[in-house]
Structure 1
Amino acid sequence: MNNYFIIGKVNEGKSHLFNLFSKNHRTISNPLENTTVDIIRKEISIKNFHYYLYDTPGFYNLSDFKEVYKRISDLKISNIKFIYLSEIFTEEDLKICKFINSLGINIYFFHFNQLDFSNLIPNLFSKIFVNQKDNFGELYNFLASQNSIDAESYIKQETSTIVIFGKENTGKSTLFNKITNIQLSQTSPNLHTTRDSVNWDINYKKEILRFIDTAGFIRSRSNRRNNDFEKFSIIQSEYFIKNASLIVLLLDSTSESKLDLSLIGSLSKRNKPFLVLVNKMDLISEKNIYQKKFLDYLSNNHNYYSSLNIHFISAINLSKSKILDLIYGHLNNKFFFKTSYLNKIIKPINGELGKIQKNSKEFKIYFITAFTVNQKNYFKISCNFNKKNIKPHVKSFLSKILIRELNLKGINFNLIF
């Protein structure tokens, strides 16, 4: 498949052109210089044609472009072609285009309006899109003709979309780069380094997993939510979360807050599978104590969540294969239940438990929540008995009812009271 990179000096309109192709996955287009900092990919897939389009950071000179080109080369993809934007074609543009030409890469020159291209050397470019009635329309139709497919015989492979989401500076881009094995997302200790949503595909166990790195979540009370960059980033994140197969919520073990609970609660209400990764555990000295405190905190606020799958990790130290195993395993996770459904089965469960009890005080369940911690499944049972007073035969009978009601045959789990 062909890969078209929109390139050009800063503020030439690269993001604007990218957005004309992409109606839903849009990048931040702003008159400020250096708005785009990452390489943003969009799959252009219509019935009769199919290719990838990329928005890229701007540059000032040949030296800057070589840095951008290195990042593109690191993607290790073939069939690279460049769409070069320039409002005024200068000597520096000429140097850059000659350099690209020496690499044997096709360049398509584009300009939105009329342009005096007397400075252009036509044989540097495979095609020039200027001074047409509709330059964009000409480019769009040309790319369609160059990437036509047989719609009847073409079978698009199913793709699972995994969105990495969380507060700022939790390590989302570090995790994304580890998974993709390329430095596609810029990382920095500064807030809001990731502005646009960056995506890349991984072939894993004969399936395509599309990972999306999103901008850090900002509190609703923050004044920064009104900033154009942040506002657009929030809209983009929301779009990808809405269409995700799985959401990976990344938390920072070194900066707990009530916002963590709020994010968990918000995702729970969507009834979408999501995985909670508590990151930066390499910075925690007493790991077992921390994990217990964290889980106790969640248990005491059980209304915030249902069917949590929690893992304590270090994105820097954990291998790519182990991270992918965690995520892939949760994509096919059967230990996922809506809170509303768990609440519905409490009444019939209490009825059946009442039949086997001879005590004057009957064992009654108030709440059931399900969660997974480090690949072990648990049901948290809130009831009217102290756990020390619950008879073994009651626990065994309750387990059998849960297996039957929730179709858990062959799935191991533990009961916590």
Structure 2
Amino acid sequence: MEDSEEETNVRSATQNSSKEPETASVSHIPLVKIIEDDSLRIALVGNMNAGKSTMFNMMMNERIPSYHFVADHDGTTRDAIEAKGKLHDAEFTIVDTPGMINGHFIKDSIPSIQSCDVVLFLTSALSGISGKESKGLEVVRSLNIPVILIVNKIDLVDGVSQLAPDLYDSLGLGDPIYVSLKKRSGIDELYATLLPHFELSKIRRKLDNWKIEEAAAKGDENALNIIEQKNSLDRFVRVAIIGKANSGKSTLFNRITGVGTARETKVPNTTRDSIELKCIYKGQRLKLTDTPSFLRIRQFRDRPFEEQLWKRTRSVIRFANLCIIVFDATQGCPVKGDMILAHTCINEGKAFTFAANKWDLVSDGVSIAEAIDYKMKKQLHEVKYCSAVAISAVTGLNLSLLLDHLLTLYETWNKHITSARLTRFWRRVEKSVTIPHHVTRVRKIVQVNVRPPTFVLHLQTRDEMKQLPYTYEGMIRNHLVEEFGFHGVPIRIFQEVKDAYKDFF
């Protein structure tokens, strides 16, 4: 029974991939609905090493580990990253963009800048405004967005005469704001300059809310959905897309969201920062996160930057609720690195599923599906009925099936069983299983937590050395999975020693 159910998880997707008309008819329509941000959006723009990521980390007001890497070399930031920011009492959305290259922006940076209300153009006080920066500044001004000039690193300049104020005044952007992000100086002047934009954003938000309420009063379904989303108290389900380099994580992220925020290249380790996007799928609010590629620990020697990438991915897994482990199906079954990620999810207590990407390029789908199923059974004993979905991020094959499976895993991950049901279940198991006389009896089983499901076995013994062996604990785990349907999620079991008869004397 166990083999047949596990094999269907992979083979059902294999049968769907053989239908060529469905693959050919897939359109590039996003599978989720993006939750629009109504707060003031501020873009950080400038040359490389101007201090954009440092300002992003300083203003960020989120608990999740979405901070930016800061390094002395050029080109550290490669993607446009968004996060909630706070400056004194003002809250907003801050967007960090990749640095300009010879006065030119990366193609993916322009849409991110256009979606913002204010642009902070950062330049270094050491070099001033160069001709290449002036070209980029003209591009930003052509977008009809208010631009504020920020002169950073003034602590490295001796005297005001070296700041070249006449050069900045000739740009027509008003008086620049001189700051030192390293010493946190000039922040009050920046807040005073942004204050009018904060007030305009509040007025604009009130007007938009009035229009939505008027449309909802007339029976507009879109307005009613927007109001329902704003008043929703449901938690966001954090979904992390993890995997090795060039497995298709960014392509999958862009295909699901339809935004194209993550950069897609054939160069390994293109993604360096965690890209998060809020969306809704079938009424469930999600936070999709694209993560840096996984690297083996032996590859960290003399490569501290790659070690920071793995720490970033590890932090995202720790904060996530669900994980999608993406691997290249053209190379066969998941490799050792993918299994390390799976065991990391198990140790963190996260529900996960494998995504066999590039399934449209697989020639023999049945044999590869059997190999994937065998690999999961052999190396993932802690999770029963671990599943994999055959997908194609390029053609959109089975992406809806993948998201539906994630919602099912989330419900299973949050499942709670009452003590009465567990007691009846254990009495039936004791009658059906032969238990050796030297094995300690289990008095009762209690579920003490969810996310992941956690059970405590109350033992009838006074001796802590007589706890149940691993094989017997595994037998109880298998019966719990079969009886209550904890398929594809890790289960934690603890043993607690309690006296069979309390000593009142």
Task: Settle same-fold status: TM greater than 0.5.
Answer: yes
Aligned: 1:183 with 2:224: no
Question: Which of the numbers 237, 240, 244 marks the counterpart of 1:163?
Answer: 240
Deviation at 1:201, TM superposition (A): 2.2
Match of 1:326 among 404, 410, 414: 404
Pair 349,311 (structure 1): closer, same or farther in 2 beyond 3 Å: farther
From 114, 122, 147, the counterpart of 1:107: 147
Query: What are the superposed Cα offsets for residues 135-167 of structure 1, whole Å, 9 maximum, x if unpaired?
Result: 2343356557744779xxx97864322111111
Query: Are 1:14 and 2:52 an aligned pair?
Result: yes
Shift of 1:319: 5.3
Q: Provide, for residues 283-342 of structure 1, a one-character-per-residue CA deviation record: whole Å limited to 9, x for no partner.
A: 22111221122212322334253452421212222259616733652464327889xxxx
Q: Report how far residue 10 of structure 1 moved.
A: 1.7
Q: Does 1:240 align with 2:316?
A: yes
Contact 2:389 2:402 in 1 (8 A): no
User: Structure 2: which 5+ runs fail to align?
Assistant: 1-38, 155-162, 204-229, 417-422, 435-478, 488-505
Distance 1:124 1:206, change over 3 A: farther
Sort the Cα spacing of 1:6 and 1:320 in 2 relative to 1 into closer, same or farther, 3 A.
Answer: farther
Contact 1:113 1:135 in 2 (8 A): no
Equivalent of residue 129 in structure 1, options 163, 166, 177: 177
SS at match of 1:83: strand
What secondary structure sits across from 2:412 in the alignment?
coil
Q: Give the alignment partner of residue 84 of structure 1, picking from 105, 121, 125.
A: 121
C-alpha displacement of 1:172: 0.6
- How far residue 84 of structure 1 moved from its aligned partner, in angstroms, is 0.6
Question: Does the aligned pair in 2 maintain the 1:9–1:58 contact within 8 Å?
Answer: yes
The amino acid of 2:335's aligned partner reads S
* Stretch moving more, 81-90 or 313-322: 313-322
Give the conservation status (yes or no) of the 8 Å contact 1:83–1:108: yes
| CA gap 1:34/1:345 in 2 versus in 1, 3 angstroms | farther
**In structure 2, how many angstroms separate the alpha carbons of the residues matched to 1:93 and 1:259?**
42
- The structure whose RCO (Cα within 8 Å, separation 6+) is larger is 2
- 1:353, distance to aligned residue in structure 2 (A): 2.5
Quote the residue 1:44 is aligned against. 85
Q: Which has the higher helix share?
A: 2
1:354-393 aligned within 5 A? none
Contact 1:164 1:172 in 2 (8 A): yes
Q: CA deviation at 1:92?
A: 3.6
Answer whether contact 1:85 1:110 (CA < 8 A) is retained: yes
1:351-395: per-residue Cα shift (whole Å, max 9, x none)? 23359xxxxxxxxxxxxxxxxxxxxxxxxxxxxxxxxxxxxxxxx
Residues 218 and 92 (structure 1 numbering): CA distance in 2 closer, same or farther, change over 3 Å?
closer
Aligned residues: 354
Residue 31 of structure 1 aligns with which residue?
Answer: 72
| 8 A contact 1:106–1:125 mirrored in 2 | no
| Residues 127 and 315 (structure 1), Cα distance of their counterparts in 2 relative to 1, 3 Å cut | farther
Q: Is the 8 A contact 1:215 1:237 kept in 2?
A: yes
Helix, strand or coil: the match of 1:221?
helix
How far is 1:205 from its partner?
3.4
In 1, Cα distance between equivalents of 2:57 and 2:169: 28
